[in-house]
Structure 1
Amino acid sequence: MAVICGKSVPEADGKTLSEYILSAGYHAGRIAVEYNGEILPKADHDKTVIASSDDIEIVEFMGGG
């Protein structure tokens, strides 16, 4: 199963990255994704299918002061 933000997430396997991002409640316009050690461009989120061996980090940007 895929590891996302340090946790095993079996339900992510087989989904596109965009599908997972939406289902997990992230705001797609405010995130950066590291996919297997490399930054993944937003243009690739729709065509990247999550596999059981993937290691993914999602960082959500927040405003504040």
Structure 2
Amino acid sequence: MSIRLNGEHIELPDSIKTIEDLLQHFHLQNKMMIVEQNREIIDQKAFKLKKLNNDDHIEIVHFVGGG
């Protein structure tokens, strides 16, 4: 499957089916973040249910602490 992730075209392994799978693939599952799928903000509770589709546009914004 191919998607646009934060503006870049990427190919995903067949094992990635949901937003939760995508976050685990990039080791982001335990970070505080906002995920948008095709311009719709996805509730964190729905990550494991929300299916990815070919040509989806995904934006991930995660927060970094510091000072």
TM superposition score normalised by structure 1: 0.84
Structure 1 contact 36–56 (Cα < 8 Å) conserved:
yes
Where do 5+ consecutive residues of structure 1 fail to align? none
Choose between structure 1 and 2: higher helix proportion: 1
1:64, CA displacement in angstroms?
A: 1.0
1:12, CA displacement in angstroms?
A: 5.7
CA RMSD after TM alignment: 1.7
Identity in percent = 28
Where do 5+ consecutive residues of structure 2 fail to align? none
**Match for residue 4 of structure 1?**
5
Question: What stretches of structure 1 move > 2 A for 4+ residues in a row?
Answer: none
TM superposition score normalised by structure 2: 0.82
- Give the number of aligned pairs: 65
Structure 2 contact 20–29 (Cα < 8 Å) conserved:
no
1:61 equivalent to 2:36? Answer: no
